Amino acid sequence: MSYAVHFKEIDKYYGDFHAVKNANFTVKEGEFFTLLGPSGCGKTTLLRMIAGFNSIEGGTISFGDKVINKIPAHKRNIGMVFQNYAIFPHMTVFNNVAYGLKARSIGKKEAEERVLKALRLVRMEEYKDREPSKLSGGQQQRIALARAIVIEPDVLLMDEPLSNLDAKLRLEMRTIIKKLQRELGITTIYVTHDQEEALAISDRIAVMKLGVIQQIDVPENIYKSPANAFVAGFIGTSNFLKGEAVKENGKVYLHAHGGKLSYDRDLAYEGPVTLSLRPEEGVLTKNLEEEGLRGTITLSTFLGDFMNYEITLTDGTIMEVNEYTKDGKTLREIGEEVVVKADAAVLKVYNEEGQVM
């Protein structure tokens, strides 16, 4: 059975420190949901509250319509995978996975079938008699995953499960976890500080900062329509430019760093703003008469499919713009003068509090 998980007015204090502030959201049944944010933002605290390792003093957490606040950790039917695998070194792979079933008085035959099935799902059946010390980090983490799913949990919780693996294995395990989760349809709550991993693996993401959820949405919207400057800065790369919103002949312009960009949406406000533009959203032209931000290319970096150019604007501000190298496009020279233009549709404007306008 898989459940939706509801968080209602959740607060967590450690003494005077307010670690999670009024979290209100629902993880849908069968969803892969990620809590993402920098170190110390409260994501592990929230996960531990679901697991029962942290008390819930303010608000309620429910699985479906069952409030779990007072249910002890071992009765919550939760599967957990941690960063450090937490598997028993003296037990075989089989016994490690079977361990979670022992406390559940499941017959020997059924237990064996379930362990083998879980090992098959993580593609580790042939290693069942090995000791974990003779397995690689990725294989050990697959055992931890098998142990978490063998109990057929109502909710699967994962806390930075890929952090100890090298870059290549991380990508491989990410795909295994994603496929397995889709196949089993278990409601999964995943914690990471790695934005790329979160974008790749999740159905939806909650971005957190200082105990407060900043935005909850599907990866594409989090990336393309960040709710505020913090989310824009934390997810991917963005150029942040200080500017001023000005109306001229009924049109809105954003004046910044000696140039101006038109902003063809309604903006009731005139005054200081922050603009954000991702490197891939900027457009370069050699035509110095065009409207935009004028600068000089001061560094170019080859990144496979595209070039990343560092551009020093006339007032010394540095920004980055990417250009695809396909279609025989001319590469640009260091020292070349350019104008950075931006399609008004992709330009984000934030007020002084960092909220999107």
Sites for ligand ATP among residues 5-44 (CB under 6 A): 14, 17, 19, 37, 39-44
The one-letter amino acid at 234: F
Give the residue with the Cβ less far from ligand ATP, 43 or 128.
43
Q: Is residue 157 near ligand ATP by the rule CB under 6 A? A: no
Nearest approach, Cβ of 137 to ligand ATP (angstroms)? 19
Give the residue with the Cβ less far from ligand ATP, 92 or 164.
164
Give the residue with the Cβ less far from ligand ATP, 144 or 150.
144
Give the residue with the Cβ less far from ligand ATP, 30 or 58.
58
Which residue from 2, 6, 27, 45 is in contact with ligand ATP, where contact means CB under 6 A? 45
Give the residue with the Cβ less far from ligand ATP, 40 or 137.
40
Site string for ligand ATP, 171-200 (x = CB under 6 A): ----------------------x-------
CA–CA dist 145, 81 (Å, integer): 6
Phi, psi angles (nearest 5°) of residue 144? -60, -40
Q: How many residues bind ligand ATP (CB under 6 A)?
A: 12
CA–CA dist 194, 340 (Å, integer): 30
Give the residue with the Cβ less far from ligand ATP, 230 or 309.
230
Give the residue with the Cβ less far from ligand ATP, 37 or 279.
37
Half-sphere exposure of 64 (CA within 13 A, CB side): 7
Nearest approach, Cβ of 138 to ligand ATP (angstroms)? 21
Burial class (CB in 10 A: 0-12, 13-18, 19+), 175: exposed
Site string for ligand ATP, 311-340 (x = CB under 6 A): ------------------------------
Nearest approach, Cβ of 333 to ligand ATP (angstroms)? 43
Nearest residue to ligand ATP, by Cβ distance, number only: 44
Helix (H, G, I), strand (E, B) or coil at 121: helix
Q: What residues form DSSP beta bridges with 58?
A: 11
The one-letter amino acid at 208: M
The answer to whether residues 106 and 135 touch, using CB atoms and an 8 Å cutoff, is: no
Nearest approach, Cβ of 132 to ligand ATP (angstroms)? 24
Give the neighbor-by-neighbor strand order of the sheet with 17-27: 17-27, 5-14, 58-63, 66-67
Of 215, 8, 211, 186, which is closest to residue 81 (Cα–Cα)? 186
Nearest approach, Cβ of 89 to ligand ATP (angstroms)? 24
CA–CA dist 117, 111 (Å, integer): 10
CA–CA dist 214, 194 (Å, integer): 16
Nearest approach, Cβ of 195 to ligand ATP (angstroms)? 13
Pull the structure tokens for residue 323: 């250009």
Contacts with ligand ATP, residue ranges (CB under 6 A): 14, 17, 19, 37, 39-45, 193
